[in-house]
Amino acid sequence: QVQLQESGPGLVKPSETLSLTCTVTGGSVSSYYWTWIRQPPGRGLEWIGYIYNTGSTIYNPSLKSRVTISIDTSKNQFSLKLSSVTAADTAVYYCAREVNELFDYWGQGTLVTVSS
Amino acid sequence: DIVMTQSPDSLAVSLGERATINCKSSPSVLYSSNKQNYLAWFQHKPGQPPKLLISWASTRESGVPDRFSGSGSGTDFTLTISSLQAEDVAIYYCQQYYNTPRTFGQGTKVEI
């Protein structure tokens, strides 16, 4: 059974960089696409972007200038960095696997609050 | 970006009754070469990640009760819960995977 677990600081100061890691167990990040999705409080789901095992990435144009997704196949992890954060970036951040265009496995999500 | 619009935003249904959620895409998510609709439905309960219920507009995922069904093509889609159970209280999202960025509807809250 594939499992994903997000980790990282739950509080980030405005203008700083949000950094999260997703650890995958029961499967390998050397296959499929690995995705970050977020949900601001009281709002809907927003796709941030994904990475393939080759390191190729596609980002949401709305966030592209601030987002970096990377992958570490040796640790079976992938990561998200979002720079210059504001209160609007406060959200539950999910990592997920995309197989045949479908998000089939998700992490439990982690709340990141942007506040001084 | 493909815009996904759901209706209604919320609905209250009695136990055992039918719940119907609509989703409209702009533009179409029907891929002409393979006649497939790149449309999924998710169920999202508080404190849990979204759960994939239906893919390709009408294919129920393994383990999903058969009271859940999806229909539609092109730009107009429907998720139907034929006989609402207490455990179905959740927010439901449609999502297109026709292209990137992947986009979701705003969600429909289903209550008893």
The tens digit of pLDDT for each residue in A45-55 reads: 999 999 998 89
Task: Find all residues with CB under 8 Å of B104, minimum gap 6, and list them.
Answer: A44, A45, A46, A47, B4, B42, B93, B94, B95
Q: Which of B36, B54, B93, B102 to mutate to test the interface with A (most CBs of A within 10 A)?
A: B102
Query: B17: part of which helix (H) or strand (E)?
Result: none
Residue A105's pLDDT is 96
Residue B55's pLDDT is 97
- Identify the CA nearest to A48 among candidates A93, A78, A87, A14: A93
In chain B, residues with a C-beta closer than 8 Å to the C-beta of A49 are 101
Query: B84: part of which helix (H) or strand (E)?
Result: none
Band the pLDDT of B72: cuts 50, 70, 90: very high
At A38, is the secondary structure helix, strand, or coil? Answer: strand
Q: Is the pLDDT of residue B19 over 90?
A: yes
Average pLDDT, chain A: 96
Classify residue A61 as left (phi > 0), alpha (psi -120 to 50) or beta.
alpha
CA distances to A39, A52, A95, B44, B91 from A111, in Å: 9, 25, 12, 16, 19
Share of chain B above pLDDT 70, in %: 100
In chain B, residues with a C-beta closer than 8 Å to the C-beta of A103 are 40, 42, 50, 52, 95
Residue B103's pLDDT is 98
Which residues in chain A show pLDDT less than 50? none
Residue B108's pLDDT is 98
Residue A116's pLDDT is 94
Band the pLDDT of B3: cuts 50, 70, 90: very high
Q: If you ran DSSP here, which 8-state letter would residue A28 be given?
A: -
**What average pLDDT does range B26-43 have in this prediction?**
96
Token pair listed for A63: 């966030």
Query: A72: part of which helix (H) or strand (E)?
Result: strand A67-72
Chain A residues in contact with chain B using a Cβ-Cβ cutoff of 8 Å: 35, 44-47, 49, 58, 60-62, 94, 96, 101-104, 106-109
Question: For A47, which of B44, B101, B105 is closest by C-beta distance?
Answer: B101
**What average pLDDT does range B16-44 have in this prediction?**
97
- What is the distance between the alpha carbons of residues A78 and B39, in angstroms, rounded to a whole number? 26
Question: For B49, which of A44, A58, A106 is closest by C-beta distance?
Answer: A106
**What average pLDDT does range B58-85 have in this prediction?**
97
Residue A53's pLDDT is 85
Band the pLDDT of B92: cuts 50, 70, 90: very high
CB contact (8 A) between residue B55 and residue A44? no
Residue A44's pLDDT is 93
